[in-house]
Structure 1
């Protein structure tokens, strides 16, 4: 990353704000960007940095939001309408951008999403092992209640007011709640609560996959394995600070046929009382001339 983008990425990661880091890998003349140029794309489609002109940005915005949604990196190949020879890149996503003046480009899009936040309740050896093992598995594990609802809560207090801890997690909307207890004691704790079917489905007790765990570290591993399974199944939503920005709307440029993201800076015209959106000023001006405006 360039220094400015690196600093900005650090701020966003610290604030648990999702973004996509875009890096130009290759560019052909007369593309305005050069290999190594990079930018950050936020969830509202805004771009900070430089990865090419407005036509390239339109393709990058749309692909970046898709990468953010899927959580998968993308190698984006942006080609002009009559592109010449450009080396193949297996597995890349290819976009033919009719408004490019020339110069094919490859841009690597890497989503940087907040790590799932796991709260551990209790001071048992299992709780301590969860904190130690969580980070290498890609989780932010905390003891104190975070300002945002965590993705998962593990209650490993071996007593205490476990029903109150479960109820607090349920009311906060936590997607997975693990209670460390024997089957008999776990059933007793749940019997103290009035649960709907939906709430009961969010509670796992005894917490953890059955791997024959005996030690505190092994039990913590089994619990984290269950959380990984839930995360991979998409059942651990990551809470974002404040209200998540709405995904920009999409429109089709009537001149070149490109799908563009609609935002404050997207070129457009009002035709017969309706907005018409364009990938760039060139298509907008061409449409205006054709329409006699």
Structure 2
């Protein structure tokens, strides 16, 4: 992975070492333990060099160009060829793109371009699909104080990439995992003997960790803020009940609406004055953005 790509990944909040690990795992899936593309090796001379375009096949929002670049750059390493690929980005992550737009060009050994093609596209299409879906939610909430949040309902192994794609699409990340934020949900409340007891236990065990509490009634919302919580997940509340919770809590905590939200009702929930709408579908149900690699043979 060249220095400029590592710099771009870091600027996106991604760890280049983790991205490399994800890519190498994906390449093993495609190329096997010997990193072999039997079709390209059999049909294309080792010395042949060409340029290919990454082309949008649909309108959307692009995300993951640096990740795709890293795939092309790393294929030479894992296959042992030692040869390099040059990637030139023509779009920027977070930009809206239209069908037919060229997002980037890649130049290098033709074997390497085609060997890297599917892994690069799998990641780029996935991330761009998440960004496109997120942008639809961000647009639906435009003009309100509410922002769209992601969840932990991510593809195993791709959480960091998918959460970056949410940011590129105009959304906001919540916790990364079970380690950086304590989230007291219904089962925790039940096991601990209630909201106040659960909150106290978390605060005593991990005094520096942010604590969030899931509530299902206005009374629970009031109990949670009086216990000390400053972030509440209002689960499966109607817009009317949520508005009551917002009024009861005031500015003592930030509130998130969660549970079964759709674009059709986003405006109604945002109108309650809630701070966030949490949407698991951003990462568990986003369709890909169709992007292709078109080879230019001179």
Q: TM-score, normalised by structure 2?
A: 0.30
Larger Rg: 1
Q: Which has the higher helix share?
A: 2
Q: Which has the higher strand share?
A: 1
Higher relative contact order at CA 8 Å, sep ≥6: structure 1 or structure 2?
A: 2
